[in-house]
Structure 1
Amino acid sequence: MIRTATPDDIPVIHAMVRELAEYEKAPDEAKASRQQLHEALFGERPAAFAHLAEEAGEPVGFALWFLNFSTWRGVHGIYLEDLYVRPGARGGGHGKALLTELARICVERGYERLEWSVLNWNRPSIEFYEALGARPQDEWTAYRLTDGALRELGSGD
């Protein structure tokens, strides 16, 4: 079963974000607090959205996403920030069900893209995504500013 997250789900979403960071070999990079997640998902002006996959009433996975915008297509799309299914529930269709729900939202709202990133070494996920019809965008390279470089550029110095 897939459902929209509620404020009561923040502890389990936070725990799964930490589990995902462990899986991606970057546990020290997952610094978001429960309060930050609550504000992003349920604050005065929510900037992100989440869905949970449940099995026998227990959360086993989540998708956290936000809207992006294509100037070329002139419409919004969904950027999937995180998709995670707990190891014991993998292979049960939960990941596909979460992606299906996001695709349904795209179609329903007239969004023309559902995008995400995957680590190059994560072959199981790459194979899963490609089996669904997703294709890598090999002609693009992702860039990111964080920490000191972001502060330096943002300070105008």
Structure 2
Amino acid sequence: MAIVLRDATEADVPLIYDFIHELATYEKLAHAHVGTHEDLRDTLFRHKYAHVVLASMDGADVGFALFFFNYSAFLSKRGLYLEDLYVRPSVRGQGVGTTLMKHLAALALAKGCRHMNWTAIDWNTPAINFYVGKTVGATLMNEWKIFQLQDDSLTRFAATTTTE
């Protein structure tokens, strides 16, 4: 079966939403999926903060990659950050994830990027093995920790007037 990739359009918002929800459920984070269709329309298509590539097989939508471009001060070059990669369970192991990753790697190079970054939840062994194995060959960077300010903590920190 041929894997077909295409850039998402605004008409794909319901599909993108469903893929995000499926991924959140798989990651045991469905409670954290609070974005709406309107949020996706606004951020992906009106403001273009991020981009989505959709994958299909035999006319059925089977996966997606959501990404944006970032910057490395050390390299003084652009990078591509993969926010989400999801392939429906029924077609895993059939090359969809590899096809999406290769597409993003080629896009990164075409846009002058020197690196791609992404994260995986520490218990998601199939994803980690895919990323660091022979297929992708990425480096697992154990020495880095991810920090986040979100919602209340972001608001609270922004409102502080003291420095430490």
Q: What is the TM-score of this pair, normalised by structure 1?
A: 0.96
2:147 to 143, 147, 150: 143
> Which structure 2 residues correspond to residues 46-125 of structure 1 after superposition, within 5 A?
46-125=48-127
Find the residue that maps to 1:111 and give its secondary structure. coil
In 1, Cα distance between equivalents of 2:151 and 2:75: 32
The corresponding residue for 1:30 is 33
CA distance in 2, matches of 1:106, 1:55: 24
Pairwise CA distance, 1:151? 1.1
CA distance in 2, matches of 1:53, 1:22: 20
Q: What one-letter code is carried by the residue in structure 2 that aligns with 1:154?
A: A
* Aligned residue type for 2:111: R
Q: Which runs of 5+ in 1 are unaligned?
A: none
Q: What letter matches 2:80 in structure 1?
A: I
* Alignment partners' CA distance in 1, 2:85 and 2:119: 10
- In 2, the alpha carbon distance for the partners of 1:151 and 1:108 equals 37
Query: What's the offset of the Cα at 1:156?
Result: 2.5
Q: Secondary structure at the match of 1:79?
A: strand
1:130 aligns with 2:132: yes
Rounded to whole Å, the distance in 2 between the matches of 1:122 and 1:51 is 22
Percent same amino acid at aligned positions?
A: 38
Superposition deviation, residue 18 in structure 1: 0.4
**Which residue type is aligned with residue 33 of structure 2?**
A
Letter in 2 for 1:120: D
C-alpha distance in 1 between matches for 2:143 and 2:128? 17
SS in 2 for 1:46: coil
How high is the TM-score relative to the length of structure 2? 0.92
Give the paired residue count.
156
Q: Write out per-residue CA displacement over residues 118-151 of structure 1, whole angstroms, 9 at most, x where no aligned residue.
A: 0110000000111211111111111111132111
Using the alignment, how far apart are the partners of 1:28 and 1:110 within structure 2?
37
Q: How big is the shift at 1:2? A: 1.1
Out of 141-150 and 115-124, give the one that drifted further.
Answer: 141-150
Match of 1:101, SS state, is: helix
What is the CA-CA distance between 1:55 and the residue it aligns to? 0.7
Cα separation, 1, equivalents of 2:128 and 2:21: 21
- Name segments (4+ residues, structure 1) moved above 6 Å: none
Q: What is the distance in 1 between the residues matched to 2:137 and 2:30?
A: 30
Cα RMSD of the aligned pairs, angstroms, is 0.9
> What is the distance in 2 between the residues matched to 1:40 and 1:89?
29
